[in-house]
Amino acid sequence: TQLLEQSPQFLSIQEGENLTVYCNSSSVFSSLQWYRQEPGEGPVLLVTVVTGGEVKKLKRLTFQFGDARKDSSLHITAAQPGDTGLYLCAGVKSGNTPLVFGKGTRLSVIA
């Protein structure tokens, strides 16, 4: 059983469209992170959210942590081909426990 469920698994959209991907769990997390991974490389951190209800923006990317700290979403406005990649959410349950990763959403933005 996957602790963090990400949806959709795959998403293919046209350049300029908006999209939202989701990360859900039945467990509470003390913090949650989003990473982007490109082919042949390791994941790279995009953002960390720690407070329930927190919203963070990174240019065209908006990240939200659910009020109950069990879920998160990533919204991309006006997607570009450079946004193509695997988006992974990862959570810390408590203290210094290691990150647990979801399986990711594989995004393809077509020019």
Partner 1 sequence: DAGVIQSPRHEVTEMGQEVTLRCKPISGHNSLFWYRQTMMRGLELLIYFNNNVPIDDSGMPEDRFSAKMPNASFSTLKIQPSEPRDSAVYFCASTSPPLYGYTFGSGTRLTVV
Name the residues that contact partner 1, by CB under 8 A.
2, 31, 33, 35, 40-45, 48, 50, 88, 92, 95-96, 98-104
Q: Which residues fall within 8 angstroms of residue 110, CB to CB, at 6 or more apart?
A: 12, 13, 14, 15, 81
Cβ nearer to partner 1, comparing 47 with 79: 47
Q: How wide is the angle at C-alpha 69 spanned by C-alphas 44 and 52, nearest 5°?
A: 95
Cβ nearer to partner 1, comparing 77 with 108: 108
> In the bound complex, what is the minimum distance in angstroms from residue 96's beta carbon to partner 1?
5
Cβ nearer to partner 1, comparing 49 with 109: 49
